[in-house]
Amino acid sequence: MNTEVYKVGAVLDSSTSKTEQQNILALLDQGKNVILDLTECTYVSSAGLRVMLYAYKVAASSKLQVLLVGVSDEVRDVMKITGFAQFFKYFDTVEDCK
């Protein structure tokens, strides 16, 4: 599996979402599955959720995957409440994805 790990910063919100989305989409455009490493991310806003969902949709349309690693309980709760959790597979470490 041609996979690239992308480390998300401490927050994924309106101030960071544009750059993060561009970087993630660039990897998908190269035909790579993406592991989003969220181990350092403590906050995801609605803009951040949109980035992840859009990446998921782009990946799925190309038969690629976006996998999530190190999702905090707080971020996971937000994803469950909003229904976004159903779109992703969660792993504790990058090595667990492989």
Mean pLDDT calculated for residue range 48-65 = 96
Mean pLDDT calculated for residue range 22-42 = 96
Q: Which CATH superfamily is domain 3-92 in?
A: STAS domain (3.30.750.24)
Q: Residue 4 belongs to what H/E stretch?
A: strand 3-7
Domain ranges in the chain?
3-92
Residue 24 has pLDDT above 90, yes or no: yes
pLDDT band at 98 (very low <50, low <70, confident <90, very high): confident
Q: Dihedrals φ, ψ of 16, to 5°?
A: -115, -15
Mean pLDDT calculated for residue range 58-74 = 95
Mean pLDDT calculated for residue range 14-25 = 96
Mean pLDDT calculated for residue range 82-97 = 92
**Half-sphere exposure in the Cβ direction for 85 (13 Å, CA):** 15
